Amino acid sequence: MKILIVNGPNLNLLGTREPEIYGTISMEKYLENLKSEFHSYELKYYQSNIEGELINRLQEDDFDAVVINPGAFTHYSYAIADCLKNIQKPKVEVHISNIYKREEFRQKSVTAANTDAVLSGFGMEGYRLALLSLK
């Protein structure tokens, strides 16, 4: 199974960005751990700070399932929501922090309705839990 993991804006800074919220491990390091645990999956990773690039990547359709953390686009990108709606494959939305304990604007996801599940507040472990849900 080919699984695409997609991260949105500012998630390239994982490991250094607000460690009290996002932890101290980089996505690259965490991805190494995921690849060793889920060796039967082909994990592909993509990150961009640009909305259109995320949509273009999702439209490439070279995966069997997607795990997405849209970052701030979660709260206002109807374009990404529409893109996800068009993908007829398993989709899990992940948020490292508990978005419901944060600022009011972060408590609404416009993308979640177009995914099969949402994980929020499990830290980086949310990516692992998302992969487990796809077995």
Q: Which of 22, 41, 45, 46 is catalytic?
A: 22
Residue 49 is labelled as binding a ligand: no
Residue 26 is labelled as binding a ligand: no
- Supply the range of the domain harboring residue 113: 2-133
- Confidence at residue 131, expressed as pLDDT on a 0 to 100 scale: 98
To the nearest 5 percent, what fractions of the chain are helix, strand and coil? 45, 20, 35
Q: Which of 76, 95, 100, 127 is catalytic?
A: 95
The reply to whether 22 belongs to the active site is: yes
Q: What is the pLDDT of residues 55-94, one digit of tens each?
A: 999 999 999 999 999 999 999 999 999 999 999 999 999 9
- Confidence at residue 106, expressed as pLDDT on a 0 to 100 scale: 67
CATH of residue 27: 3.40.50.9100
- Confidence at residue 103, expressed as pLDDT on a 0 to 100 scale: 67
Residue 18 has pLDDT above 90, yes or no: no
The reply to whether 39 belongs to the active site is: no
- Confidence at residue 44, expressed as pLDDT on a 0 to 100 scale: 98
Please count the structural domains in the chain. 1
Q: What is the pLDDT of residues 32-51, one digit of tens each?
A: 999 999 999 999 999 999 99
- Cα–Cα dist 68/84, whole Å: 10
Residue carrying structure tokens 């839990």: 129
